[in-house]
Amino acid sequence: MEVLSLMKIDMANFNIRQYRPLLQQQAIDYEKTTFKKLMESQREMGIDPLASTYKWLERAYNRLKTNNTIGWYQITTNTNQSESSIIILNEAYCELLLWNPKNSFPETLELDEIRYNQVHISTMRLLIISTIMIVLSHITGSILRDYQSIKNLLKSQIIILLDDFPEKKKLKDVLISISEQVIKTTHDELIKYDKANIIINNEINIKDSIKAIGEHHVIEHAVFKLLCKY
């Protein structure tokens, strides 16, 4: 029976590989047709079907022009027109990782908006975790860096606490819970090595520093902005 089950799985995988190119092409054709119909219907109503896309690209161009980019992209006097277009597009896609929902999503990507939103959430969570760990290491010095197991435990706990962000909870509320959990975990773990005093003496500072990450728009936090560049 086990051999038969494995044979069925192999056959299913083979069929998937065989039909994947066809399914991908059908998906592409469907997206093209749907997008074309959407553009035509909006034009008939006197609406610019690419208004949000133009604004999205314009924001990327302005960031490059003022050297206030999200990524490391730059346009210099030696950059030709073709390269400039690619750089602007790359910078525009970087904005999707830190997307501000107040902006209208570019029409050219609307069919994949849900997937881009998931990437955005994952990116934000990763950067928030990294920001917290760097802030914590700055306050505690080399102590946490010496105990990788504690860092791993903290990361796993923070990931769980961030699970409700941004769908159910605001970042400020989540950071309060995270700051309390960080204090408890680091204290309980470091007490095993008789080094819990660093947490006791810096408890208020640690809590305030973690909460400060959410006091303004998170992408304006100095550590967060630095991480975005990498």
Q: What is the pLDDT of residues 50-70, one digit of tens each?
A: 999 999 999 999 999 998 888
pLDDT band for position 95 (cuts 50, 70, 90): very high
Asked if residue 9 has pLDDT above 80, the reply is no
| 154-183 mean pLDDT | 90
Asked if residue 2 has pLDDT above 70, the reply is no
Asked if residue 29 has pLDDT above 90, the reply is no
pLDDT attached to residue 199:
92
pLDDT attached to residue 74:
82
pLDDT band for position 101 (cuts 50, 70, 90): confident
Asked if residue 221 has pLDDT above 80, the reply is no
pLDDT band for position 227 (cuts 50, 70, 90): low
Instruction: For the chain, give every domain's residue range.
Output: 1-48, 50-97, 113-228
Average pLDDT, the chain: 86
The model's pTM is 0.77
Give the chain as a 3 state SS string: CHHHHHHHHHHHHHHHHHHHHHHHHHHHHHHHHHHHHHHHHHHHCCCCCCHHHHHHHHHHHHHHHCCCCCCCCCCCCCCCHHHHHHHHHHHHHHHHHCCCCCCCCCHHHHHHHHHHHHHHHHHHHHHHHHHHHHHHHHHHCCCHHHCHHHHHHHHHHHHHHHHHCCCCCCHHHHHHHHHHHHHHHHHHHHHHHCCCHHHHHCHHHHHHHHHHCCCCCHHHCHHHHHHHCC
pLDDT attached to residue 51:
94
